[in-house]
Amino acid sequence: MNGFYVITNRSKKDAAKEAEFIRQYLEERGCTCCVQSECGHTHSDSMRYTDASAIPKEVECIIALGGDGTLLHASRDLVDTSLPLLGVNLGTLGYLAEIEHTNIAPTLDRLIADDFFIEDRMMLQGTVVTASGEKVQDIALNDIVISRHGRLRVVDFNVYVDDVFLCSYRADGIIVSTPTGSTGYSLSAGGPIVSPDASLILLTPLAPHTLISRTIVLPENVVVSVEIGNVRAEEEGGAEASFDGDTFLVPENGGRIVISRSDKKTHFIRMNHTSFVENLREKLGP
């Protein structure tokens, strides 16, 4: 590789300094490197954080400086480019961002030498359908969370799989996640940890008002529909859909969110052939 593009999370301490180090290091070795803030990046309604149209054509690799959140945002913004992403952790846990900033120099050397491999990650597509029939779509790498909106109260959810009724929940919300997302919000809600190379959809309720609160594991080829129960006229709010913690869409009472595996994938650059078990022990162990 010799063409790079650096995305920075400016809220992270020393992010700008790290980005400048990467740019200089790569250019001194005959590569091209563009830092997001210097490459004509502008905000528009068609993108969230990174303008894919501002990425030069010669770019072969995206380097995301920040944490897992930065990498999630980048994966959604750039999914149509098919460019591989490398996450450099400037945060805390960094489960998705494999490289620590202290190891950036040898990592860049390996990227230049093409000493790496690509790991594809499954994504979800969600379509919010309002009671009036209006549709809005988005994608997620980690999860799509349907939760209450407005005042503190439970929401009624009816869940269907391939148009077959599965169950009803009175709960704070429902997490529909990929294997990648199994170590995120779903894990905090009591869901299982799943190897990221699996092809599954996980359905985990949030604080359900029932004695049974188990995660349901579904095959990747199903379509999950979550129907929002009607809210009494005297109550305010309803439910909202969150895609990787971003892009909140509020369906009307009686609306639904239809979720399935996306045809699009995120391509992560991996430097080490560390097993899932070893990585799990390192990141989540005592």
Q: Catalytic site residues?
A: 68
CA 23 to chain centre: 26
Distance CA 147, CA 262 (A): 22
Task: Show the tokens assigned to 29.
Answer: 């070795």
Name the CA radius of gyration of the chain, rounded. Answer: 20
User: In 3-state terms, what secondary structure has residue 35?
Assistant: strand
DSSP notation for 122-152: EEEEEEEE-TT--EEEEEESSEEEEEEESSS
Q: Please state whether beta strands 3-8 and 32-35 pair in parallel, antiparallel, or not at all (unpaired).
A: parallel
